[in-house]
Amino acid sequence: MEFPCGKNSNNTSQRTPKIFILVALTFIILGVIPLHHTSKWYHAKDLVNHQSKKSPTYHMEDMEIKFTEDETCDIFKGEWIPNPDGPYYTNTTCWAIHEHQNCMKYGRPDTDFLKWRWKPKGCELPIFNPYQFLDMMRNKSLAFVGDSVGRNQMQSLICLLSQAVYPIDVSTTPDENFKRWKYTSYNFTLATYWSPFLVKMKDTDSDGPTKTGLFNLYLDEVDEKWGNQIEEFDYVILNAGHWFTRCSVYYEKNQLVGCRYCELPNVTDLPSSYGYQRAIRTVLKTINNLENFKGITFLRTFAPSHFEGGEWNKGGNCVRRKPFSSNETTLEGFHLDLYTIQVEEFKAAEKESKKKGKRLRLLDTTQAMLLRPDGHPSRYGHWPNENVVLYNDCVHWCLPGPIDSWSDFLLHMLKLEGRRSHKEKLQFIKQWS
């Protein structure tokens, strides 16, 4: 059927199909748009009745990025600036904090590390608004897939959302590595899949050459624990990095190709970056090839550790008490290698994702976290006299702490997704008008 267009079409019977389609599209879009709240439509006055009783200093009057220089802003480049209003929850108001990241409980004496916020160059990034986030996540689901730093991020998000409401545990297994939480009044599901390498792995020796285990990594196969379930989610946040320093044997096409620190005879020793690059490539390729996955994938970049005075198992510690400025430190060595691999593999996968109609995004937390040597638990993850074998923790992040800013980043990116969706729908209507 041909649809008439232009000024020469006066036949009412010919115009009817087009009018019907426009009316139908209008109703569809009016029904869909509310699911994609963007900063452009969502104002603080709409939230006034929801202000958190737990955080009276929580400012909600500014829901949008404010440009201070030009009309462009890379939210991932900037500085940490003082924030007297922080934090927005405490270790006594949030039950989701893992013991080893509960720094205040275990005697951390300083609190200044809680009084900073991320300031992108050229603009102001709004502080996370739990009610806005939950409204945007209504009838949706979000999965964190990766290592314990990813779990650290999920716990941070739960704590920030606790200003509004707590979820209920709807986990299908007692395994703490695979948790599900549901915010029933929003029909929002939050899940975590512990998969430190993201690819298939087998623990072949719990001790290993360096007492941290020995793992067989199948670099061209994703971990089925999450790979078989990920299609059901609307949003997925992937991360990996720190575990690739551990002793591992690398397999591709089920053939041994080398290892890292494995000390096995006649096996080629390869750098950690070899396994990491192939693992990230496999994961992103798998996501792009999932026919039934219609969600948005965020690759969260590597968050550097801050050991000083020795390696993690040789007395290294993180004792600084304030952030670096951007000109005081640079990304280098192993951290730079991992970050470079992530960005390069992301760019290559993003090109392919666009061809397939997939949505792949980079959640770039590396620069911001490089500047926060003060935000780790260090020795404040257990009691001083406790009989535990733990090293100073300069990998994970205190809660509350700098990792809470990741939710600022995430919410802003979700707003952009809503805006993109809105523009696409308007363009679709326009082509029929």
Active site residues: 148, 393, 396
Closest CA relative to residue 299, chosen from 191, 409, 190: 409
- Coil, strand, or helix at residue 415? helix
Closest CA relative to residue 433, chosen from 2, 3, 1: 3
Q: What is the DSSP letter of 341?
A: H
Q: How many CB atoms lie within 10 A of CB 43?
A: 15
d(CA 349, CA 337): 18
Element (H, E) at 151: helix 148-161
End-to-end CA distance of the chain: 17
Please state whether 353 falls in left (phi above 0), alpha (psi between -120 and 50) or beta.
Answer: alpha
Q: How many CB atoms lie within 10 A of CB 356?
A: 11
Q: What is the DSSP letter of 257?
A: E
Distances (CA, A) of 155 to 101, 321, 387: 10, 23, 26
- Coil, strand, or helix at residue 268? coil
- Coil, strand, or helix at residue 288? helix
Name the token pair of 313.
Answer: 């198992």
Distances (CA, A) of 309 to 113, 145, 302, 314: 21, 32, 22, 9
